[in-house]
Structure 1
Amino acid sequence: MTDWPDVWLIVPCYNEGQVIEEVVRHARQTFPNIVCVDDGSKDDSAKGIRAGGAHLVQHPVNLGQGAAIQTGIEYARKQPGAKYFVTFDADGQHRIEDVLTMLERLRSEDVDIVVGTRFRGDVQESVPLIKRIVLKTVVLLSPRTRKLGLTDAHNGLRVFNKKVADEMNITLNGMGHASEIVELIGVRNWRVTEEPVTILYTEYSMSKGQSLINGVNILFDTMLKGRAH
């Protein structure tokens, strides 16, 4: 675990006690620095996080995934030697090999942030139909996403540098944070690219996955924020 000492994985976690220890243990075989933000879980997620060996930060109540990611970024960017940051799901859907590919691109190319996509190459065939419809609709209804050339702005797997981490200020606590991050990419002029990634849709992750209603909520949150500005 010495090859990536300047990388921090940021894992928002809410009621993932069934799987979080295994997810953390597996990730720590490659990345020693992981911070899990327990977002007011009502199960034993905190116990699993500690057992897996990650840093634990806890919200006393459930604030939402956006708030958990922001808390994790704020924690990680203060750590000595931190240069690269990864947002990584707690339910086992993301693959370490995809993170490694994205990190290599971030280090070697003139980009500030690499966003995972399920809609380039052959990987899109693994995306369940209803989820594919929701995610593509979000892209179609987001002028900023289209302008940036992004195809999957609501993929939770992202890799970014210290500049992005220092400037990241997510204010949408819920699922609308993904649209807010896209907006920040444009406003802050962060150099962005996409990397095809494979999402592991297990029975467990699908039971907790994003529904059509959540997709509508994302759009609603984003439109409200746009009006506020």
Structure 2
Amino acid sequence: MSTPTPFERTVVVVPTYNEGAMVGTVVAELREVFPHVVCVDDGSRDDSAQAARAAGATVLRHPVNLGQGAALQTGFDYVLGRTTASHVVTFDADGQYLVADAAAMVELAVASEVDIVLGSRNLGSTEGQPVARRVLMAAALRFSRSITGIRLTDTHNGLRVLNRRAAASMNLRQHGMAHASEIESRIVGASLSWREHPVTMRYSDYSRGKGQSNLNALNILYDLAAERLGATA
């Protein structure tokens, strides 16, 4: 029997909320490289679950919308409890990321034996990002560095590769967008080894309309501030 490839030993977790127009395409592109794709339908009101399943994904469903952090944690729990996968990829459902970048990050994680590989648009490239969004994300990066102590070049980038040890260390409590900084805090708290990898992030009219707004960036900063105050209360 042949030895499974790194891609065959990887599960891609795609948090999904009202992405019926795009998630089928994203899953189909992922499955050209990764046989195992899990979409966590986070209380969608559209046909996201049906579209993901038709494209070949395993679909897990939240009965109500809990937030992207909760969807990722559900995906991690599934991978750890129901599979023998060596790695988990987190990948957004709105088509912003390239499957080729995810594949390169898995190869880096396997070759280097690092616990987690984090995508960085600032080491790679960003297409179509509004100027105001860039300014707000720079502020989020500075704030995230101040509360996590990890010196990344990017924050709140949804493309990551985690090995089983890293996935088991997550236990995310931040259900909203601030889960990304919580992941960074877990890296420090669990003494996980990490590397960054350049990625391309593509902003489109669709992705901007699906939460990539300036208001969403402000919500990230609010969530981070609330987490900081809660930790020091």
Deviation at 1:184, TM superposition (A): 1.0
Structure 1 segment 150-165 matched on structure 2, within 5 A:
150-165=152-167
The answer to whether the 8 Å contact 1:91/1:205 transfers is yes
What corresponds to 2:180 in structure 1? 178
SS in 2 for 1:141: helix
Q: Percent identity?
A: 44
Tell me, in whole angstroms, the C-alpha distance in 1 between the residues paired with 2:174 and 2:146: 17
Q: Within 2, Cα distance between the matches of 1:8 and 1:51?
A: 18
2:67 pairs with 1:64 = yes
CA deviations 1:88-131 (Å, max 9, x no partner) are 0001111111011111111111421111111125x146533222
Matched, 1:166 2:174: no
Alignment of 1:1-229 (within 5 A): 4-121=7-124, 123-124=125-126, 127-144=129-146, 147-229=149-231
Deviation at 1:203, TM superposition (A): 2.0
The answer to which of 98-107 and 142-151 deviates more is 142-151
Q: 2: CA distance between counterparts of 1:102 and 1:176?
A: 23
Q: Deviations over 1:3-44 (max 9, x none)?
A: 622100000000000111111111111111111010000001
Contact kept, 8 Å, 2:17 with 2:44, in 1: the verdict is: yes
Task: Check conservation: 1:145, 1:153, Cα contact below 8 A.
Answer: no
CA contact 2:147–2:228 (8 Å) conserved in 1: no
Counterpart CA distance in 2 for 1:125 and 1:63 is 29
Secondary structure of the structure 2 residue equivalent to 1:8: strand
More strand by share: 2
- Pairwise CA distance, 1:209: 3.4
CA distance in 2, matches of 1:22, 1:177: 26
CA 1:125–1:83 in structure 2 vs 1: closer, same or farther (change >3 Å)?
Answer: same
Paired AA for residue 140 in structure 1: R
Equivalences, count? 228
| Structure 2 unaligned regions, length at least 5 | none
Structure 2 distance, partners of 1:190, 1:168, is 11
Mapped to 2, the partners of 1:7 and 1:220 lie a distance apart of 34
Aligned partner of 2:204: which letter? T
Distance in 1 of aligned mates of 2:115 and 2:151 = 15
Mapped to 1, the partners of 2:156 and 2:77 lie a distance apart of 21
Distance 1:30 1:125, change over 3 A: closer
Aligned Cα RMSD in Å? 1.8
Gapped regions of structure 1 (runs ≥ 5)? none
Aligned letter for 1:34? Answer: V
